[in-house]
Amino acid sequence: MSSDTAKPWAGRFTQATDAFVEAFTASVDFDQRLAPYDIQGSLAHARMLHKVGVLTEAECKSIVDGLEAIAVEIERGDFFWSVELEDVHMNIEARLTDRIGIAGKKLHTGRSRNDQVATDVRLYLRAEIDAIVAELDRLRQALLDLAEREADTIMPGFTHLQVAQPVTFGHHMMAWFEMLCRDRERLLDCRKRVNVMPLGAAALAGTPYPLDRDYTAELLGFERPSYNSLDAVSDRDFAIEFTAAASLIAVHLSRFSEELVLWTSAQFAFIDLPDRFCTGSSIMPQKKNPDVPELVRGKTGRVVGHLMSLIVLMKSQPLAYNKDNQEDKEPLFDTVDTIKNCLRAFADMMPHVQPKRERMYEAAKQGFATATDLADYLVRKGVAFRDAHEIVGKAVRLGVESSRDLAEISLAELQAISPSIGEDVYGVLTLEGSVAARDILGGTAPNQVRAAIARARG
């Protein structure tokens, strides 16, 4: 092999890599997105090597200037990525050596591609978590605004997809908000474990060079260096943990999507979505399809699939680094892209959702949504709850047989079922009375919804 085409590890080998194997084992097609973080890590490593006396000041300056120039090339799209050089790290190192000569070869002192890639992925994921949290915050803000606007809007609440009790649309939006708050907490907690620096672990055993790992960690904004070199280069728990958190975000967005899809149907007709977030049919001119929620719902499968992929990837690996770990990046990258795009779509769409208040109100009057209120009324009159439950069941049966809501049944008919019922019963059988009665922390009463919004806004 000539010096122009030899691999950086070619000294041990007498044959060039098979062309298919070269393409099969290369990762540069997808890991080049790590380039900014690879350069960031190399800049810190070079400055640390100078601090501990491994590089001269001139060598360090040459490396730093060269890396910064390469960063500009990559940003402009002028950088040539070579499959022969396998990955993002060797492409950048080879280009650096081309630019500055022998000093470029000294940059790899005290590190391996094993700790280098682990560091790059952590830097990348830390930045992406911050970007995802920003999109989560945009969506959370949209839900708060929508909840505040619709704090008094009454709609049916469901269990088993059957009308259960009346709630407010604002209360429903705040339920989604709570899910996203947990998602945010999980991401920030995950970030703590992402923010540990493997650089300096080298291949697996550390290095004999007097590296100042605390200094490098400080330059890169890591909380601390890793404490065990074997674990540092082989750990992908942080990627699995992120993908697990992302899977829960996807599941939550899928649940939101399912409700939006139902609510836009003619059978529900609870809301209207802006035209720009919907599409039509090529054959049915009347159609307005909620494609954004449907696609978000569909993308949940790929995110959860990536979680399974990463778990299975790691389940049988011995210490320390193995080539298997090259397979961590595509699932991780796609998870990041998918979640970020889904959150962006929802954050853009939700401020423009238009509730159909009258339709929701009429739907809440169906299905005897205030039956529980009647039971609670009887309990306050001294009737045991189980007896009250039976009384209300009889009243509901009367309503079903006569196609009337509870509030439409006459007082005489209700008193025939239970003499404990008085004229004041109709105050609790209205939808407004029902939601107002749930005036307890976490309840659906409009003033409780507004209090929840105020707490969230802090």
Name the residue among 254, 248, 250, 256 with its Cα closest to residue 174. Answer: 256
- Tell me, yes or no, whether 7 lies in a domain: no
160 as an active site residue: the answer is yes
Mean pLDDT of 23-34: 89
Average pLDDT over residues 7-26: 76
The three state secondary structure string of 291-317 is: HHHHHHHHHHHHHHHHHHHHHHHHCCC
Residue at a domain's end among 94, 109, 124: 109
Looking at 321, 338, 361, which one is the last position of a domain? 361
pLDDT above 70 (res 4): no
Side chain identity, residue 197 = M
Boundaries of domain holding 397: 371-429
What whole-number distance in Å separates Cα of residue 197 and Cα of residue 200?
A: 8
177-189 average pLDDT score: 98
| Residue 19 pLDDT | 80
> Is 4 a domain residue?
no
Looking at the structure, do residues 195 and 280 belong to the same domain, yes or no?
A: yes
The answer on 70 and 44 residing in a single domain is yes
CA distances from 288 to 96, 281, 457 (A): 54, 7, 35
Kindly state whether residues 346 and 255 are assigned to the same domain.
Answer: yes
Look up residue 350 and give its amino acid: M
Q: Which amino acid is at 313?
A: L
Contact residues for 201 (Cβ-Cβ < 8 A; gap 6+): 112, 114, 115, 118, 226, 229, 230, 232, 233
Mean pLDDT, all residues of the chain: 94
Q: How confident is the model at residue 6 (pLDDT cuts 50, 70, 90)?
A: low
Instruction: Specify the range with the lowest mean pLDDT, choosing from 19-33, 177-191, 296-310.
Output: 19-33
223 to 69, 140, 205, 218, 316: CA distances (angstroms)? 28, 28, 22, 8, 29
**Are 342 and 235 contained in the same domain?**
yes
pLDDT tens, position by position, 237-286: 999 999 999 999 999 999 999 999 999 999 999 999 999 998 887 888 78
Q: Are residues 292 and 316 in the same domain?
A: yes
Say how many residues make up the chain: 458
Considering the domain architecture, whether residues 120 and 189 belong to the same structural domain is answered as yes
Residue 244 lies in a domain: yes
How far is Cα of residue 150 from the mean position of the Cα atoms in its chain? 26
Express each pLDDT in 406-423 by its tens digit: 989 999 999 999 999 999
Residue with tokens 């397979």: 327
Same-domain status, 100 and 129: no
Question: Are residues 92 and 39 in contact, defined by beta-carbon separation less than 8 angstroms?
Answer: yes
The CATH number for 389's domain is 1.10.40.30
In the set 82, 265, 281, 402, the catalytic residue is 281
Per-residue model confidence (pLDDT) at position 12: 74
Task: Supply the pTM of this predicted model.
Answer: 0.92
Q: What is the pLDDT of residue 7?
A: 67
Single residue among 82, 109, 136 that ends a domain in this structure: 109
343 and 201 part of one domain: yes
Residues 250 and 341 in one domain: yes
DSSP 8-state assignment for residue 183: H
Each residue's pLDDT tens digit, 76-104? 999 999 999 999 999 999 999 999 999 99
Q: What is the pLDDT of residues 100-124, one digit of tens each?
A: 999 999 999 999 999 999 999 999 9
pLDDT band per the 50, 70, 90 thresholds, residue 9: low
Q: How many domains does the chain have?
A: 3
- DSSP string of 423-437? GGGHHHHSHHHHHHH
Instruction: Give residues with Cβ within 8 angstroms of 363, minimum separation 6.
Output: 155, 156, 163, 268, 270
Residue 440: inside a domain: no
Report the pLDDT value the prediction gives residue 20, as an integer from 0 to 100.
83
Residues 273 and 254 grouped into a single domain = yes
Tell me, what's the pLDDT at 14?
A: 72
Task: Judge if 244 and 388 occupy the same domain.
Answer: no
Domain-located, residue 435: no
Residue 73 — φ and ψ, nearest 5°? -60, -45
- Identify whether residues 326 and 405 lie together within a single domain: no
The answer to whether position 438 is within a domain reads no
The DSSP 8-state label assigned to residue 79 in this structure reads P
Q: Which of 2, 3, 160, 282 is catalytic?
A: 160
pLDDT beyond 70 at 1: no
Is the torsion defined by CA of 43, 49, 53, 55 positive or negative? negative
pLDDT of the residue at 286: 83
Domain of 246, CATH number, reads 1.20.200.10
**Structural domain contains residue 451:** no
Q: Is the pLDDT of residue 187 over 50?
A: yes
Continuous segment of H or E residues that includes residue 167: strand 162-168
Domain-embedded: residue 439: no
- Asked if residue 320 has a cis previous peptide bond (ω within 30° of 0), the answer is yes
- Token pair recorded at residue 246: 């992302």
* 171 catalytic residue (yes or no): no
